[in-house]
Amino acid sequence: MNAIELKIAAGLERAFAENGFAEPSVEDLRDAAGVSLRTLYKYAPSRDVMVRTALEHRHRRYIAHVFDDLPGDADAAVSAILDRVAGWMRREATHGCLFHAAVAAAPHDPTLRALLQSHKAEVARRAAAVTGQAGRDVDMTLIIEGLTQSWPLYGDAAVVSARRLSLALRQCA
């Protein structure tokens, strides 16, 4: 991704995260991307492509935030993952998951459903692998998704609960 594509993707992600998928006009998205309308359309020729671009950028940032430089110890890795997810929710996703919001805004769009599924599957697979729970992807999905979906309601109490659940999972393995 070149510098202009990165600038556009970051701006689109920010605009959709702050304003949802229905509200921002193309002019709002252009302003958020910090480029001309012509340049925006050159790299993202439709609103659908703009949404996908934003979600793909979000995915890369989330994966790096949660999984880069984790401790080698499985227990410490679980703790770090949950702390990082909570930090992400606190700073980046106070209204909930952007992928779920995109699918909610366009429930019949198979491309958005595929992006949601791919994102969640990669998060679960990586979390299970680095925490010594390989093959327990569904369990890790429930814990991490439970945290992200509960965050807007319970905040740090959701992290405490996710820690308890991850400990119970490791103990029964």
Per-residue pLDDT band for 141 (boundaries 50, 70, 90) equals: very high
The mean pLDDT of the chain is 94
pLDDT given for residue 105 in this prediction: 94
Report whether pLDDT(124) > 80.
yes
At 126, which helix (H) or strand (E)?
helix 110-130
**Averaged pLDDT for residues 64-74:** 96
Contact (Cβ atoms closer than 8 angstroms) between residue 128 and residue 136: yes
> What tokens appear for 124 in the block?
């679960």
**Averaged pLDDT for residues 71-79:** 93
Contact (Cβ atoms closer than 8 angstroms) between residue 128 and residue 137: yes
Threshold 0.75, pTM exceeds: yes
Report whether pLDDT(172) > 90.
no
pLDDT given for residue 173 in this prediction: 67
**Averaged pLDDT for residues 66-95:** 93
Distance separating alpha carbons of residues 121 and 39, to the nearest angstrom: 33
Calculate what percentage of the chain has a pLDDT beyond 70.
Answer: 99
- For residue 154, count other CB atoms closer than 10 A to its CB: 13
Domains plus CATH for the chain?
A: 3-172 (1.10.357.10)
**Averaged pLDDT for residues 136-147:** 94
Per-residue pLDDT band for 5 (boundaries 50, 70, 90) equals: very high
Output DSSP code: residue 72: S
pLDDT given for residue 169 in this prediction: 87
pLDDT given for residue 71 in this prediction: 96
Q: What is the pLDDT of residues 95-111, one digit of tens each?
A: 789 999 999 999 999 99
